[in-house]
C-alpha cells in the first residue's frame, strides 16, 4: 500500500499573526495528545509559527499568548470532563477555550441526548459566569469499523460493536453541529473521516450515513498516526485563527 501523505495546506500570514496573539486553553486526553503533537510538528516545519505551547491546569496564570493544554477528567466519564473544564474556567481564564471528549466516552450505555444536554448546560454556565471566554466546540472523535465476521457475530448475539458506538458518536456530533452551527466548531470527526482525495469513510445503517475514522489515519483504530494528527492539527489551527 502506498504511503499516505498529510494533506498539504499552509496557514496564511494573517492566520499566523492571529494565532500568535491569542491565549488558548485546550483540555483533552490521548487523542488530544496526538493533536498537540501534530501542532508541534507543524510549528517545527513553519518558522513563522513560533507558538508558545504550555502544559498547565492553571491557564489563568499564563500571562503571554500561548496554547495551554492539559488532560482533563477521566476517560469513559464525560461528566468528569464537563466538571473539570468548568472548574478550570472558574479559576478566571480569559481567552479561547475548548475541550474534547474521547471516543471511549460514548459506548453501549451512553444516553446521547442526556450527554449532550449536560454539555449544553455546562457551556451555558461558563457563558453566564465568564463572558470573556470564547468557546470552540469539538465533535467527538471516531473509530475505524470492524467489518470482520467476529463483529457480525457480536451483532447477532446482541453484544455491542464498534459500529453501534460510532452510530452514537455520529448522533452526538449531529446534535452539536445543529445547536452550534453559528459558532466556531473544530469538526474533528469530519477531519478523521475525510480521506486525502476528499471522499469520506462511512457505513450505512438503514437510511443513516455513519462516518468512521479513515483507516489510513490510525494504527490502532482510534488514535491518530502522523498523517491523521497533522491533518487534525492543521484544521484546529485554522479554526482557532478564525475565532472572533
Q: Indicate if the pLDDT at residue 158 is higher than 90.
A: no
Q: Indicate if the pLDDT at residue 57 is higher than 90.
A: yes
3-state secondary structure of 174: helix
Q: What is the pTM of this model?
A: 0.92
Domain at 99, CATH number: 3.40.50.1110
Query: In the predicted model, what is the mean pLDDT of residues 145-158?
Result: 51
Higher per-residue confidence, 155 vs 131: 131
CA 202 to chain centre: 18
Q: What is the pLDDT of residue 236?
A: 98
Q: Which DSSP letter does residue 91 get?
A: T
* pLDDT band (50, 70, 90) for residue 161: confident
* pLDDT band (50, 70, 90) for residue 10: confident
Q: What is the pLDDT of residue 38?
A: 98
How many Cβ atoms from other residues are within 10 Å of residue 111's Cβ?
11
Residue 204 lies in a domain: yes
Q: Indicate if the pLDDT at residue 7 is higher than 90.
A: no
Q: Which residue has the cell 470527526?
A: 189
Question: How many angstroms separate the Cα of 114 from the Cα of each of 77, 110, 141, 167, 175?
Answer: 13, 8, 18, 16, 11
- Structural domains of the chain, count: 1
Q: Which domain holds residue 64?
A: 13-242
Q: Are 212 and 201 in contact (CB under 8 A)?
A: yes
Q: What is the pLDDT of residue 2?
A: 41
Strand partners, 54: 68
Residue 6 lies in a domain: no
Residue 1 lies in a domain: no
Q: What is the pLDDT of residue 155?
A: 47
Query: In the predicted model, what is the mean pLDDT of residues 21-43?
Result: 98
Query: In the predicted model, what is the mean pLDDT of residues 47-73?
Result: 98
Residue 200 lies in a domain: yes
Amino acid at each position: 500500500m502506498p504511503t499516505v501523505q498529510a494533506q498539504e495546506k499552509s496557514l496564511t500570514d494573517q492566520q499566523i499573526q492571529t494565532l500568535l496573539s491569542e491565549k488558548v486553553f485546550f483540555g483533552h486526553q490521548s487523542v488530544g495528545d496526538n493533536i498537540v503533537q501534530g501542532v508541534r510538528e507543524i510549528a517545527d516545519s513553519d518558522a513563522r509559527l513560533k507558538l508558545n505551547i504550555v502544559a498547565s491546569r492553571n491557564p489563568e496564570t499564563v500571562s503571554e499568548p500561548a496554547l495551554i493544554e492539559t488532560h482533563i477528567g477521566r476517560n469513559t466519564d464525560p461528566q468528569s470532563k464537563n466538571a473539570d473544564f468548568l472548574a478550570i474556567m472558574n479559576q478566571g481564564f480569559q481567552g479561547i477555550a475548548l475541550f474534547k471528549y474521547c471516543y471511549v466516552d460514548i459506548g453501549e450505555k451512553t444516553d446521547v441526548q442526556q450527554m449532550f444536554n449536560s454539555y449544553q448546560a455546562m457551556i451555558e454556565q461558563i457563558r453566564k459566569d465568564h463572558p470573556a471566554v470564547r468557546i470552540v466546540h469539538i465533535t467527538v472523535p471516531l473509530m475505524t469499523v470492524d467489518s470482520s465476521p467476529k463483529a457480525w457475530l457480536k451483532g447477532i448475539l446482541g453484544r455491542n460493536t464498534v459500529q453501534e458506538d460510532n452510530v452514537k458518536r455520529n448522533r452526538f456530533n449531529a446534535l452539536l453541529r445543529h445547536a452550534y452551527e453559528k459558532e466556531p466548531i473544530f469538526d474533528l470527526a469530519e477531519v478523521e473521516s475525510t480521506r486525502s482525495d476528499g471522499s469520506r469513510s462511512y457505513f450505512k445503517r438503514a437510511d443513516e450515513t455513519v462516518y468512521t475514522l479513515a483507516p489510513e489515519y490510525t494504527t490502532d483504530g482510534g488514535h491518530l498516526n502522523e498523517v491523521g494528527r497533522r491533518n487534525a492539527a492543521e484544521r484546529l489551527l485554522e479554526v482557532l485563527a478564525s475565532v472572533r
